[in-house]
Chains A and B, each alone.
Chain A
Amino acid sequence: MSSFIDTIVDFLVRLLGIPQGAAGFMLILVAVVLGVVVFLFTAVNALVAVYMERKVSAFMQDRLGPMEVGFWGFRGGKRFWGGIAQTLADTFKLLLKEDIIPDKSDRKLFILGPFILYGAVFCAFIGIPLGYGMAISDFNIGIFYVIAISSVGVIGIILSGWGSNNKWSLYGAVRSAAQIISYELPVGMSLLLVVMVVGSLQFHDIVAWQEQHRWFLFHSPFTIVAFVIFFLSGVAEANRTPFDIPEAESELVAGYMTEYSGFRWAIFFLSEYANMAVISLMTAIVFLGGWLSPVGGLLRLFGVPEGWYYLDGSLWGVFWISAKAILFIFIMMWFRWTWPRLRVDQLMYTAWKVFLPIALLNIFFVGIWELIFA
C-alpha cells in the first residue's frame, strides 16, 4: 500500500498536469500542508481534551466546571455544554501573556526544550493512521517508529528542566527521564507480542490481521495482560496520575514546567494532551482493532451473514477509532481524578519488578499459545 502523501502528490501532479520535474516541489508543498494539518489536529485535540478534562473532573468532584465562557446558547445554566469556549479563551490568554525567560536560565535550552518535546509528539502523529489508508506516512516499521520518536520527547523535558536553573525543575526532569526510560521497556515488550503474532510492524497489517481473526484484546488471555501492561505503561509515559511524578504539583510545584509561562507553557500542555492521544490511538489500533467497527463483530457473533451493514468504511473507521481513543482518554482522566500518586521508588518497582517480568513471561506464553492454537 502506497502512503497517503504519495497518493495525494500523484493525484495533484496528474490533476494539474505538472511536469515530472516539479513533483518534488509539489511533495514539499503537500508535506507542509499536512504538517499544518497535524499541528491543527494536536491543537484541536488539546482544546477538546482540556475541556473534557475539566468537565470530567468537575463531574467526578461534584462541581459544574466551566460554565460561563460561551456563546449563543452555549453558556450558563446547568447544561453540560455551558462554558464550551473556556479552553479557547484560555488559549488566547496564554498566547497573549508576557513571555518570561528567567535571567539565570540557560536561554537556548530553555527555549529549545518545549519545542523538542512537542516535535517528538508531532512526529509520532505522522506514523499513526486514523483510518484505512489515512496515515500521513505508513511506514513498514510503524510501531517501532512511533515508540522510538515519542521517547525523544524526554530530551526536551531534560533540557527544559536543566535550562530553567531551578532545583524543582531539575528534580522533575530527572524523574521524568528515569520514568520514561523505565516504562519504554514494558511498552516495547507488550507490543512485541503483537508483532510476533502478526509478523509485521506496520499498523495496517496489524489491523488487517485483527479484521481476519479477532481483536487482540480478545485473542488470548495473555493479550489481555499485555493490553493492561501496555495501557498502564502508556499512562506512565504520558506522565499522568498515578504516574505523574515529573510534575507532581504537591511535591515539585510544577516539575519541569515550573519556570514556564505563556505560550511556552501552552506548548507543554499541547504536548501532554497530544501524548495522551498518541497512547490512546496506539492502544485502540493495536488492541482494539483500530478503525474496525465493533458492530460487525457483534453481528457475526449472532450469526448475521457477511455483507450486511456493518457501519464500516472510511468515515465510519475514523469515527470508531476516535471513539475508542476517547474512551481511553476518558479512562486516563478517570485515573487522574480518583487516585493518589505513586512514589518514585514505587514507580520504578512497578516498572522493573512487576510489569517487565510479566511482559517477558507473556511473550513466552503467547508463543506457546500460538503454537498450540494457531
Chain B
Amino acid sequence: MTTSEAIRKNFGVVEAEEMVLNMGPQHPSTHGVLRLKIRTDGEIISHIEPHIGYLHRCFEKHCENLTYPQVIPYTDRCDYLASMNNNHIYVLAVEKLMGLEVPERVEYIRVIMAELQRIASHLMAVGAHGLDTGGITPITYTFRDRERILDLFEYTCGARLLYNYIWIGGVSHDLPPDFVQYATEFLDYFEPKIVEYNRLLTYNKIFIERSADVGVLPADVAVNYGASGPVLRGSGIDWDLRRNDPYSIYDRFEFDIPIGTGEMGTVGDSWDRYFVRVREMEESVKILRQALARLPKDGDVHAAIPKKVRPPEGAIYFRGENPRGELGFYIISDGSPKPYRLKMRSPAFVNLSVFSEIATGWMLADIISILGSLDIVLGEIDR
C-alpha cells in the first residue's frame, strides 16, 4: 500500500502542502533518544524515517576486548529494562559454548529472576503506552508495582536496575532468606492489580478508540520483517521461544502463549500488542508460582562457576525470549578468554524496522501510540 492510498483508506481524500518535522531526539515520547524524521500533511503523517544511533556505545566492539564474564555488565546496559533476561540469555549462550552444566537450583533462580524482570518490563511498557495516549495515571500505578519487583532484586543482589546477577556457571548471590515468601507475597499482591490496570486503562473507551484498529501489523508483514515477542504475537502468531525452542528449564512449566485476537478491532492493532503484554504478565505469574514451589531447597549457586572462562574454538548462535522478543547472541570464540566477535540480535531493533511500515498514513498522535505499542528500548537498538 502506498502512502497516499493509506491516507485515503484511513481518513478520506485530504491533501495539502507537506511539512518536515523532526521528532526527537529530545522529545517526551520517543522512549529515549530516537529521532523520527516525519513528513506531515497537516496532522497526517505521509512519511516516517527513524534515525537511530544517538545512544550507540560500541557494545559489540567493546566485547572483543573484554573477557566473557566482563561482558555481563554490558548486557545489563543494552536493554536496561530487562537486564536479568539479557544476563540470562548471554550466560546461557556462553555456557552452551563451553558445555557447562549448572545446578538445578541455579536454573530455578535464573528463571524466577527472568520472569520477575519480564513482569517489570511489561509494567513499564503498559504504563508508558498509557502515557503515550495521554493518560498520566496508569504509569504511576504500574511503577508502584514495578517498585516491589525492584525491591526484591535489591534484596537479592543489591542492585535495582543493572544487576550483573547471573554469572557464567551460577549466580552472583544465593537467594536471601525468606525470598520465596516475599516473592509469593508479591505475586498475591500483584495478581489483583492486573484487574486494576484493565479497569483503568485497557477497557477505557478512549484508550480503545485510540489504539484499536490503529497501526495494524498484518501477520505476514510481521514475519517478513522478522518481528518477535509481543509485536509478533499481537499479530496473531503463536510463537514464543520459551515454548517453541525451549532453553533453560522452561519446558518444565505450564503456561499459555497469549496472542492477539482482534478483540477490540483488527488482529495486530496497537490494542492487541498492548493486551498481549498484560496477559503475558499473568502467564509470568503462573511460571513464577510453579518455579517458587519447585525451587530446590539447598544447593551451591557457585558450584559450576569456572575458574577461567575459556570456551573452545567455535561459534554459537543462542536465542531466548526477552520481554521484547527474540534476543540472540552470536559468539565466535578463538579459544582465548575474550570473544573474537560478538553479535547481538536485539528484538527492539528489528521491531522498530516495522514502524514506518505500519505508522505511515496515521496521525501525529497515532504514531506516538504505535511507537508505544512497539515498546522499544533505545539502549538495545543502538547498543
Q: In the bound complex, do residue B135 and residue A251 qualify as a contact, i.e. CB atoms below 8 Å apart?
A: no
Give B contacts to A, CB under 8 Å.
11, 19, 21, 27-29, 43, 130-137, 140-141, 144, 200-201, 204, 206-207, 209-210, 363-366, 368
Q: In the bound complex, do residue B140 and residue A61 qualify as a contact, i.e. CB atoms below 8 Å apart?
A: yes
Contacts of A57 in B (CB 8 A): 136-137
Contacts of B135 in A (CB 8 A): 338-341
What separation, in Å, do the CA atoms of A289 and B144 have in the docked complex?
42
- Greatest chain A CB density within 10 A among B134, B135, B200 is at B134
Q: In the bound complex, do residue B29 and residue A250 qualify as a contact, i.e. CB atoms below 8 Å apart?
A: yes
Within 8 A of B (CB), among A165-222: 167, 171, 175
Q: In the bound complex, do residue A345 and residue B363 qualify as a contact, i.e. CB atoms below 8 Å apart?
A: yes
A284 to chain B, nearest CB (A): 26
Contacts of A167 in B (CB 8 A): 19, 21
Q: In the bound complex, do residue A343 and residue B365 qualify as a contact, i.e. CB atoms below 8 Å apart?
A: yes
Nearest opposing residue in chain B for A171, CB measure: B364
Determine if A248 is an interface residue (Cβ-Cβ < 8 Å).
yes
Contacts A60-B137, A61-B140, A171-B364; A344 near B43 (Cβ below 8 A): yes
12 contacts between A and B (CB under 8 A): A60-B137, A61-B137, A62-B140, A245-B365, A250-B134, A251-B368, A338-B137, A339-B134, A340-B135, A341-B206, A343-B209, A343-B210
Contacts A60-B137, A242-B206, A345-B11; A340 near B130 (Cβ below 8 A): yes
Give A contacts to B, CB under 8 Å.
57, 60-63, 167, 171, 175, 241-242, 244-245, 248-253, 336-346
What separation, in Å, do the CA atoms of A62 and B366 have in the docked complex?
29
Q: In the bound complex, do residue A339 and residue B363 qualify as a contact, i.e. CB atoms below 8 Å apart?
A: no
Contacts A62-B140, A241-B134, A244-B134; A342 near B27 (Cβ below 8 A): no
What separation, in Å, do the CA atoms of A336 and B43 have in the docked complex?
23
- Greatest chain B CB density within 10 A among A175, A244, A342 is at A342
Q: In the bound complex, do residue A337 and residue B137 qualify as a contact, i.e. CB atoms below 8 Å apart?
A: yes
Q: In the bound complex, do residue B209 and residue A346 qualify as a contact, i.e. CB atoms below 8 Å apart?
A: yes
Nearest opposing residue in chain B for A249, CB measure: B28
The one of B11, B29, B43, B209 in contact with A342, judged by C-beta atoms closer than 8 angstroms, is: B209
Contacts of B43 in A (CB 8 A): 175, 344-345
- Greatest chain B CB density within 10 A among A61, A251, A346 is at A251
Contacts of A339 in B (CB 8 A): 134-135, 204, 206
The one of A241, A242, A251, A338 in contact with B29, judged by C-beta atoms closer than 8 angstroms, is: A251
Contacts of A253 in B (CB 8 A): 27-28
Q: In the bound complex, do residue B140 and residue A63 qualify as a contact, i.e. CB atoms below 8 Å apart?
A: yes
Q: In the bound complex, do residue A248 and residue B140 qualify as a contact, i.e. CB atoms below 8 Å apart?
A: no
Contacts of B365 in A (CB 8 A): 245, 248, 251, 341, 343-344
12 additional A-B residue pairs with CB within 8 Å, beyond A338-B200, A340-B135, A341-B365: A57-B136, A61-B137, A175-B43, A250-B29, A250-B133, A338-B135, A339-B134, A339-B204, A340-B133, A340-B206, A343-B209, A345-B363
A354 to chain B, nearest CB (A): 13
Q: In the bound complex, do residue B366 and residue A343 qualify as a contact, i.e. CB atoms below 8 Å apart?
A: yes
Q: In the bound complex, do residue B29 and residue A62 qualify as a contact, i.e. CB atoms below 8 Å apart?
A: no
